[in-house]
A and B are shown apart, each in its own frame.
Chain A
Amino acid sequence: MDQLLNDFSPGLFFMQAIILLILILLMRKFAWKPILNSLQDREDGIQDALKSAEEARKEMQNLQADNERILNEARAERDGMLKEARELKENLISEAKSEAKSEADKIVAQAQATIASEKKAAIAELKNQVAELSIEIAEKVVRKELSSKDKQLELVESMLGDVTLN
């Protein structure tokens, strides 16, 4: 201790204090402040970059999800449209079919009706003609048969014979 106190040089202490003080001030101004600021800036920059990268990734994910959703929607819409179209087509076809069928049925029915009425008319006419012809024939026959007096008498006789007087 004694020797240490003897070794202690106040002059060196004083010089050291001044040098250290000046050095601290100079270093603060010219070195530490800019260095620490740049380091801080750089670290902040890295943090920001990481954060924005993360955000971009999230956004990308969102976008992708969005895309997926839109695609799905579009697909569903297309499917719906296709389905609708198919239904429409089927409807149209079936409608057309049924209409055609009913039309055809109607035509057939009309045709049948016409045929039936024609047939009836034809039958009626045939009946008339047959009746006229039979009358003519019958007239002719009758005329011929009853051309003589005795034949007329005979007929009257037979007829009278048929008529049993009761």
Chain B
Amino acid sequence: MKVFQRSLKYATIVLLMLTGSVVCASSGDEQHRVGGNPIDTQEEINAYIKHHLQDSHDFTFYTNGETGTHYGFPLPVILWDGGIKTFMSSKFHHGETVAESGGSYYKLYHGKVYKTDAEGTITLDDHDHPTNTKPLDFSITKSVVGMLLAGLLMLLLFSALARGYKKGPIPSGFARVLEPLVIYVRDEIARPNIGENKYRKYMGFLLTVFFFIWILNLLGLTPLGFNVTGNIAVTVCLALFTFFIVQFSGNKEYWKHIFWMPGVPVPMKIILMPIEILGMLTKPFSLLIRLFANITAGHFVVMSLIALMITMKAVFGPVASTGMSLVLSLFISVIEILVAFLQAFIFTMLSSLFIGMAVAEHDHH
């Protein structure tokens, strides 16, 4: 065990040195043990990765399996259950105890808050889903912290860039890196897809979403263990923004093409209408699924490769398995850096493409 821990530490240090803080999505979490037992079976690793992919109510960097202590900090829980109830997530003790607030009892079960009785009994149905009621959960969870962090970062960086222009037309320092990115989004994404005259109105949304997704994707690759853009609620929200912007900016031509396709016979128009309406809905759906699935798959693969260290130890020995996992996870992590950018780019690109379709002036053929 000692050798394993040391090799893991070594691996972590090497990874950090090699790729900055970008690689190694939560290698520290690998040491997490449940009830003093090390995670070393396939099922436990799977469960652990699943746990990571979900949102959580506290911030845990490291858990000492032998003593069962968690290193990290709790986050505030805000519930709406016939009135606002707030308390710190430390009350849950990582799902081990029942939290009491305002006369009601709550318990964490697989990262979600359920209302229970005083003993914290959770009844499960046939599909292992709890039948307890779920209060509306507006907690400042890990993902919300990630979003706030990303938002704060963006505000700081780009308001600095904006202020830099007051001093002179050419920015200096780090702003010099940011300016080409802004120009890239404007000239490569917005302008060609939306059109020269109309792109300006949508720049605020496109730029914000691009950098928001990108920064969150990159944050997900840090050992902090964020998985914000791999969270279905987040991507649904992003895609809905695009959806509403597209629908609200759609001109007469756009709606005409959906409900009464010009240039085809009447029966064809009737057949095309539901297809077009379906197409209107599948566009944001594919947006949200793509982002979610890419990031989730990326995290899953990186964590599985890091877990190779444990699963392959019996076959290859600690050194060989560590080396193998190191090389493979490094490789995938580098690809994930590319994917982080690519997904932000594609989300913005397709959003602007859809907006462009909605605002385009069709010349009748």
Contacts and interface: CB of A to CB of B under 8 A. Distances in A.
Direct A–B contact present (CB less than 8 angstroms): yes
Interface of A: 2, 4, 6-17, 19-20, 22-24, 26-28, 30-36, 38-39, 41-42, 45
B205 interface: yes
B207 A32 contact: yes
A131 to B, nearest CB: 129
Q: List the 9 closest A-B pairs by CB distance, nearest first.
A: A31-B158, A38-B165, A11-B137, A28-B204, A34-B162, A13-B233, A12-B233, A16-B237, A11-B138
Size bin of chain B's contact surface = 35 or more
B348 interface: no
B237 A38 contact: no
Nearest to B162: A34
A33 B186 CA distance: 13
A7 B54 contact: yes
A36 B237 contact: no
Contact of B169 (A28, A30, A42): A42
B155 A31 contact: yes
A26 B162 CA distance: 13
A23 B159 contact: no
B133 to A, nearest CB: 13
Given A15-B140, A31-B154, A32-B203, 14 more contacts: A4-B232, A7-B54, A7-B231, A16-B144, A16-B233, A16-B234, A19-B151, A24-B205, A24-B208, A26-B151, A31-B159, A32-B207, A39-B179, A41-B169
B212 interface: yes
A20 B237 contact: yes
B91 interface: no
A35 B212 contact: no
B238 interface: yes
Nearest to A11: B137
* A contact face: mostly helix, strand, loop, or mixed: helix
Q: Which of B129, B161, B162 has the most A CB atoms < 10 Å from its CB?
A: B162
Interface string B140-179: 1101100110010011001101110100011000000001
A13 B236 contact: yes
Contacts of B186: 36, 39
A35 to B, nearest CB: 5
Contacts of A20: 147, 208-209, 212, 237-238, 241
Nearest to A42: B169
B232 A24 contact: no
A10 B231 CA distance: 12
B233 to A, nearest CB: 4
B352 to A, nearest CB: 15
Contacts of B158: 27, 30-32, 35
A90 B232 CA distance: 108
B200 interface: yes
A125 B254 CA distance: 141
B55 interface: yes
A20 B144 CA distance: 11
